[in-house]
């Protein structure tokens, strides 16, 4: 399972003559196109930020290869180079569809990347042979694989522990299944919001050719239970034709925009109008996500409330990072739908 999630690892150095230079990679048969593309993009990204090297992990898309990467930048002293600094990076590549797994467990991955970076710095300073560096990267991949396997087993075990009471609820107390469409522009935090609610990164159904991820959340309303079936719809324009099919049969919509990206806020009426072409009497919420980024905010509460009122929807501000108001928002939708039946 985990080896399938980790598609490749590429270790890149910034060569003063050659530029970004992929030194080592796993698997060994990784295509030259991918390893060069990853190396060039990871290293040249630093030039857009005035050469500032991030301390934390960076998630970077590689749409040409339908992959994403977690990048750890490595900076070490080297008096033989201009500025006395050598730059390199280690990139872990995975399918775009698996990004919730890496989002959820980023705190687990960070120490492992840091340890690998420190080991690579020591090896480079000691002028180690490429075989020694390859062994370090191979061990790094093994450790990551084991970690992801352990996390997977943990989630499977939790699901199995809940299996029996879930069956009892479905047989005796479950009142309704409600289809909830979660939509909004790309990058506003739809997947991370759903992940906050369902708390299960591995056990999700994703249809990559259609651009939809489906997960479930059982909610208790008093002594009754309802099951929310969450359709997390991709916001990219290439999926526009398919989205209309997902709207049919929708009980409610959760429309998310990013409080730090005004363009995503301006798209809110377009999304609602698009949905109402197929489901006119739609209920639901507008969520202003990333409420925790106060200094980067581009949309005021007043503006959001005004547009929500015009669209006859309620507005709530949330943070997928801290979890603020996420559970309450979906509970409110479940309660509204249940009372309307």
Candidates 90, 217, 83, 103; CA nearest to 151 is 103
pLDDT in tens, 300-320: 999 999 999 999 999 999 998
Cβ-contact 227, 293 below 8 angstroms:
no
pLDDT in tens, 6-52: 999 999 998 777 788 999 999 999 999 999 999 999 988 776 555 57
Tell me the HSE value of 238 on the side-chain side, using a 13 A CA sphere. Answer: 6
Measure the CA–CA gap between 243 and 183, rounded to whole angstroms: 10
Q: Which of 191, 210, 237, 229 is nearest to 333 (CA)?
A: 229
**Mind listing the pLDDT tens digit for each residue in 76-130?**
887 777 767 888 999 999 987 787 788 778 878 888 999 999 999 999 888 899 9
pTM check: above 0.75: no
Query: Residue 27's closest CA among 147, 131, 137?
Result: 137
């Amino acid at each position: 399972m985990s080896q399938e999630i980790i598609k490749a690892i590429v270790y890149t150095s910034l060569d003063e003559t050659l530029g970004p230079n992929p030194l080592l990679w796993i698997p060994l048969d990784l295509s030259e196109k991918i390893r060069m593309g990853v190396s060039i993009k990871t290293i040249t990204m630093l030039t857009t930020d005035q050469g500032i090297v991030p301390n934390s992990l960076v998630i970077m898309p590689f749409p040409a290869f339908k992959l994403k990467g977690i990048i750890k930048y490595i900076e070490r002293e080297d008096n033989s180079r201009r500025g006395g600094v050598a730059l390199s990076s280690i990139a872990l590549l995975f399918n775009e569809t698996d990004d919730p797994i890496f989002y959820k467990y980023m705190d687990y991955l960070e120490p492992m990347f840091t340890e690998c970076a420190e080991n690579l710095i020591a090896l480079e300073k000691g002028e180690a042979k490429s075989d020694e560096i390859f062994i370090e990267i191979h061990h790094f991949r093994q450790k990551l694989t084991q970690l992801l396997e352990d996390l997977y087993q943990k989630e499977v075990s939790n699901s199995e522990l809940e299996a029996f009471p879930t069956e009892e609820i479905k047989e005796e107390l479950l009142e309704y299944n409600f289809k909830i469409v979660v939509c909004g522009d790309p990058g506003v935090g739809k997947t991370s919001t759903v992940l906050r609610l369902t708390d299960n990164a591995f056990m999700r159904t994703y249809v990559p050719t259609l651009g939809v991820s489906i997960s479930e959340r059982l909610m208790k309303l008093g002594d009754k239970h309802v099951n929310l079936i969450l359709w997390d719809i991709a916001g990219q324009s290439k999926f526009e034709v398919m989205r209309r099919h997902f709207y049919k049969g929708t009980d409610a919509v959760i429309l998310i925009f990013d409080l730090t990206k005004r363009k995503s806020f301006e798209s809110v009426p377009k999304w609602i109008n698009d949905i109402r072409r197929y489901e006119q009497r739609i209920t639901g919420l507008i969520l202003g996500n990333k409420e925790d980024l106060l200094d980067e905010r581009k949309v005021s509460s007043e503006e959001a409330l005004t547009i929500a009122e015009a669209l006859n929807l309620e507005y709530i501000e949330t943070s997928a990072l801290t979890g603020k108001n996420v559970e309450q928002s979906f509970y409110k939708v479940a309660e509204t739908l249940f009372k309307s039946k």
